[in-house]
Chain A
């Protein structure tokens, strides 16, 4: 089955710096790759997603890139703010279901 690896497990950045989280997947059938932000006591919230026919997508300070050949995709957050502190999960979708990475704890220091 699909295996999604996510790195790093924790990431601390200074406010205003950029943050990058990377994921790799194993199942070439996956063609939809969402990223979720999870705050304490809440369910995961979709922040951006990308399909396999697109190499890059941007939404304000957040961007995602996908390299289908290498089977990896990345989340880029620019100009980080304290409210960006949370756990971020990548996911891949073999057979119409989400398989998640282990998560990255992002801490933005002000």
Chain B
């Protein structure tokens, strides 16, 4: 079974620029999550999708972050404009059902300078 694919692996941008991350979940997984992991901390949920609908985006800074999951498969997470404090690893995860089988991708390491 192929894992959760994420790209790019690394990205360096200047503050106030925009950036986008892409995630392809495991085939058949209805639920998709984006997590932000700041160095030395545990991952924190940004947004949860069920198929192509948003279930929870309460922790997403909506003034600068946006995410979509078209057709209930791939997802993109965008930051515009980026701030220094957005430097982190952005992890995508998917699961086939509630409360089980969460699988993570390798993440995108974002550095904002």
Contacts and interface: CB of A to CB of B under 8 A. Distances in A.
A42 B4 CA distance: 12
Interface residues of B, number: 24
Nearest to B31: A96
Nearest to A6: B42
Contacts of A46: 102-103
Given A44-B43, A102-B42, A93 B104 contact: no
B31 A43 contact: no
A51 B93 CA distance: 20
A96 B99 contact: yes
Contact of B44 (A44, A49, A100, A103): A100
Contacts of B104: 36, 43-45
B42 A89 contact: yes
A41 B106 contact: yes
B42 A97 contact: no
Interface in A63-107: 89, 91, 93, 95-103
B67 to A, nearest CB: 15
Contacts of B41: 102-103
A32 B44 CA distance: 17
Contacts of A49: 100
Given A32-B100, A43-B91, A97 B45 contact: yes
Contact of B45 (A41, A45, A98, A101): A98
A101 B42 CA distance: 6
Contacts of A96: 31, 48, 55, 98-99
Interface of B: 4, 31, 33, 35, 40-45, 48, 55-56, 91, 93, 98-100, 102-107
